Structure 1
């Protein structure tokens, strides 16, 4: 089954030396999952200030620069894996340990 592990980051959090070490552990995990065939995709995301909101209003596309609304945290990156439920939980735990914070694990619908 496919799962996405979403990594969140505090909106006002400053990158630290511990974060740099965590990124190194994430890159190593990325390589290991790629070698095992479990990794579908993994990317870090630019901050919300560099994003855009895209929506259709009255049949017209409207694009607004981000961020839209205040948030205490934002989606900072993700891992998409193809694994059993038990293995996906283990991978999410490794990612959580690397980033030093909680992550969210969700199975895909399709």
Structure 2
């Protein structure tokens, strides 16, 4: 089992916002958005499934991220789409916080 990839410090991610981790770091097909709510961090593929917009640029609130382009909403826990115009779920990735550092496990389910 992998130890994950250290991708950020918790304090690098503003509360209620996100940052994108480049696919060259993660080895995934898409960049990955790290999204923070309180002391929790969630990871989803960064590109909205409706149109080419970064979920890391969206708004995080009440367990969801809202796409900044057309306001589709995705569940932080499992990527399930919760609001149109998107109709496809976003791919989630496992995250662990250890000692204030955020570790990402690309392509592993949370």
TM-score by length of 2: 0.27
Q: Which has the larger radius of gyration?
A: 1
Question: Which structure exhibits the higher relative contact order, with contacts defined as CA atoms closer than 8 Å and separated by 6 or more residues?
Answer: 1
TM-score by length of 1: 0.27
1 or 2, which has the higher helix percentage? 1
